[in-house]
Structure 1
Amino acid sequence: MIVEQPSLFALNVATLCVIIFSAHQLILRVRTYQIYWPLAVCLLAIGLIAMLPVSKVLLPIEWQIINHIASLPALLLIAPSLWLYTKALTSRTPWQLSYHDMRHLIPACVGSIIALVALCLPSRYQHGILVSDELTVITHASNLLQIIIYGLLIMTFVCVLGWVVQSAWYFYKILNLLRDYHIRLKDVFASTEQKELHWLVWLLASVGGVWLFIATNLVLDNLLSPIQLSPYLHATLLLLLVYSLSLWGLRQKPGFAECYHLENTSAPNQTLTNEPTSSSEEKYQRSALDTQQAQRIATKLQHAMHSDKLYLDAALSLPKLAAHIHAPSHYISQTLNETLDIRFFDFVNQHRVDAAKQSLMHSDKTILDVAMSVGFNSKSAFYTAFKKHTGMTPSAYRKKET
């Protein structure tokens, strides 16, 4: 075995090692959360493509050909699996792959059919097309075989162009899903810092830049000539992206995970559904909550905050509040949105800020101590909420009122 560029080979091997280790860890966690399946599939699909330069050094020709052929369905599997992973992370109920989700795998299935047909081709044509890049070998084939080979090449080219469109579409869908998720979080949790998935947004932005370059290069490679890029830069970027996705993916739990068990133990008839962001009128049009019930729930909510001081619980969530006042969570959400005209997140933090104002005026506690004493998880979250509800920072408020 002769390695012409040892450092580049090491980068590629390191990427594969990260993928294999992370995918193994994710598969071991599937018993806890099914969401790890799509992420493991996404990493393994990336691994099949990342293995191409390594297979040229380590594997015999036959396995190199198989690696090349398997790269097409793997390419078409990356974006859908990342979409399913994001959907699972943001789901209000424990996610499992459904028949409805299976339609996202159709392009990869089409790629698999093309790959299976390509595997049945005589080895000399596989070698000439995929390894030695000698397309003239096709002219020696029979007429029927030439039609099949050219058909495969055209379909592969269409699939590669389709991957460009597919990736852009899923990128758009994931960003929209994350936007709605951030809104839905504030209907359920009073503290959202650990659930915002900002890492996924930044990763998508990075992947988007890399994708744009790769997509442009793939199109130019098939139509004109590819953009010349240092293989070291490409390998380094891929390693960083894979490492980031693996690291955060192994650390991240579903945003609504702590509500899964509360859904069955809190008030009867309450549900946590994956309803899309919509107007209150559309969202609650089938609700049986009447005005009198809403007023009673509103009174209970105010009592829970003023008398029971539930806002002091840093991990307060809608199901917890529902269990405390013995009311369905969807009725509480409707009451907050329609009767009190406020989201759960702002409702709780408003009371935290009111308590913090009293503490700032009548105590010598530090800003951080005040924030923690009224239920905030961090100083930054406290500053953001305080400024939103008062129009000034905690320090400025203390100077003004003392």
Structure 2
Amino acid sequence: MPFVTLLGPALYFYVRAMKARKPRRFAGSDWWVLSGPLLVVLIMLPFSQVSAPDKLALANPVTRDPDLFLLALTTRAAAIVVFSVFTAIYLIGALRLQFTHKVNVKRVYSNLEKRSLDWLKMLLAAWALGWIAFVFTDALWLAGVSPVGTGAISAVFEAVAFSAFAHIALNQPAIYDDETEHADTGADRQPILTEDHMTRITRKLDAAMIGQHLYKESGLSLRRLSDETSIKENYISETFSQHLRTNFYDFVNGYRLKEAASLLEDTDTNILNIAYDVGFNSRSTFNSAFKRLFGMPPSEYRNRQSAIAG
């Protein structure tokens, strides 16, 4: 149990390591990771003093000592509670890291593929389900109910979840978001630009998007837009957050989707080609973004527009 209690923190530190170019020093509050296993060890100490014959006698209702059996149940129950709470804290922490990372990525990139760590969120959810099943099985055992095969099923599920995690994680490119973590978003400080200044910046950004079709660059980033318009990145970020109430990702994709809608109405170009032409990297991302804005998938939108025109 002390070692199992370290699995949740291990996932948390893995997520944190995925996001940083330089390894972060293990220091400060990181050492609290040892509190869970140490607490489990302290909980198990009284039972560890019981002799081996007395422990073996607990397996048989006829030979077990009631007081020692109560100690065994209490020890296991307390260890499970510590495991559950400790694991939940670090799993929630890992999910928060993933969520914050995705929010930051949207501030500086126009495409999220291979950057948003959405795959990790799904695997963390799978791990959470596995551990819930583990705790539930233990709770049944503590209550005197032990369905046949539950232990094996739980073990197989954890083995499959671990194998899937290892396979996917080892094949993932490193996600470095030093740029996103240190980017001045404009939302975390007092505004320094006037409304008139942000209005002028908005016009200049619109001109770059419409005149130069920058949104068609699938790898368009905030830095690239800054270089092209000669506007400081923090000025653009402040304009997005304070004036336009949006982020870089949604701003750029707004132009892409508007262009895509026009192409769907006026041409019979393949939908996948349209997605690539306007700057998206995949059909699934395009479909999701299009449906979120227009309330229907691209194919349905095209059919409706054809029906209206006909």
The TM-score, its normalising length taken from structure 2, stands at 0.76
- Which of 208, 221, 228 is the aligned partner of 2:128? 208
Distance 1:203 1:238 in 2: 12
Aligned CA distance change for structure 1 residues 316 and 133 (closer, same or farther; 3 Å):
farther
1:272 aligns with 2:183: yes
Query: Aligned residue for 1:338?
Result: 242
Query: Aligned residue for 1:389?
Result: 293
1:74 CA displacement: 1.3
Query: Aligned residue for 1:96?
Result: 24
User: What's the C-alpha RMSD, in Å, of the aligned pairs?
Assistant: 3.9
- The worse-fitting range, judged by mean Cα deviation, of 285-294 and 162-171 is 285-294
1:81 aligns with 2:10: yes
Query: Aligned residue for 1:299?
Result: 203
Query: Aligned residue for 1:191?
Result: 111
1:309-388 superposed matches below 5 A = 309-388=213-292
**Structure possessing the higher relative contact order (Cα contacts under 8 Å, 6 or more residues apart):** 2
Distance 1:312 1:249 in 2: 31
* Unaligned 5+ runs, structure 1: 1-71, 137-150, 264-269
Residue deviations 1:73-96 (CA, integer Å, cap 9, x gap): 31221111212223444x477551
- Which of 12, 23, 34 is the aligned partner of 1:106? 34
For these two proteins, the number of residue pairs brought into alignment is: 295
Amino acid at match of 2:182: T
1:251 CA displacement: 2.3
Amino acid at match of 2:213: K
SS at 1:192's partner residue? coil
1:133 aligns with 2:44: no
1:107-256 superposed matches below 5 A = 107-108=35-36, 110=38, 125=51, 133=56, 158-221=78-141, 224=144, 226-255=146-175
Residue deviations 1:30-56 (CA, integer Å, cap 9, x gap): xxxxxxxxxxxxxxxxxxxxxxxxxxx
Distance 1:324 1:133 in 2: 75
Taking only the aligned residue pairs, the percentage that are identical comes to 24
SS at 1:298's partner residue? helix
1:374 CA displacement: 1.1
Aligned CA distance change for structure 1 residues 305 and 378 (closer, same or farther; 3 Å):
same
Whether the aligned pair in 1 keeps the contact of 2:217 and 2:279 (CA below 8 Å) is: yes
Aligned CA distance change for structure 1 residues 361 and 231 (closer, same or farther; 3 Å):
closer
Amino acid at match of 1:288: I
1:360 CA displacement: 3.3
Distance 2:309 2:182 in 1: 44
Distance 1:109 1:243 in 2: 24
Whether the aligned pair in 1 keeps the contact of 2:108 and 2:223 (CA below 8 Å) is: yes
1:391 CA displacement: 4.2
Residue deviations 1:74-126 (CA, integer Å, cap 9, x gap): 1221111212223444x4775514424414413256269759x89xx99x95x
Query: Aligned residue for 2:64?
Result: none
Distance 2:232 2:276 in 1: 29
SS at 1:201's partner residue? helix
1:383 CA displacement: 2.4
Aligned CA distance change for structure 1 residues 224 and 362 (closer, same or farther; 3 Å):
closer
Amino acid at match of 1:299: R
Distance 2:309 2:247 in 1: 28
Amino acid at match of 1:82: L
Whether the aligned pair in 2 keeps the contact of 1:311 and 1:374 (CA below 8 Å) is: yes
Query: Aligned residue for 2:65?
Result: none
Distance 2:196 2:26 in 1: 40
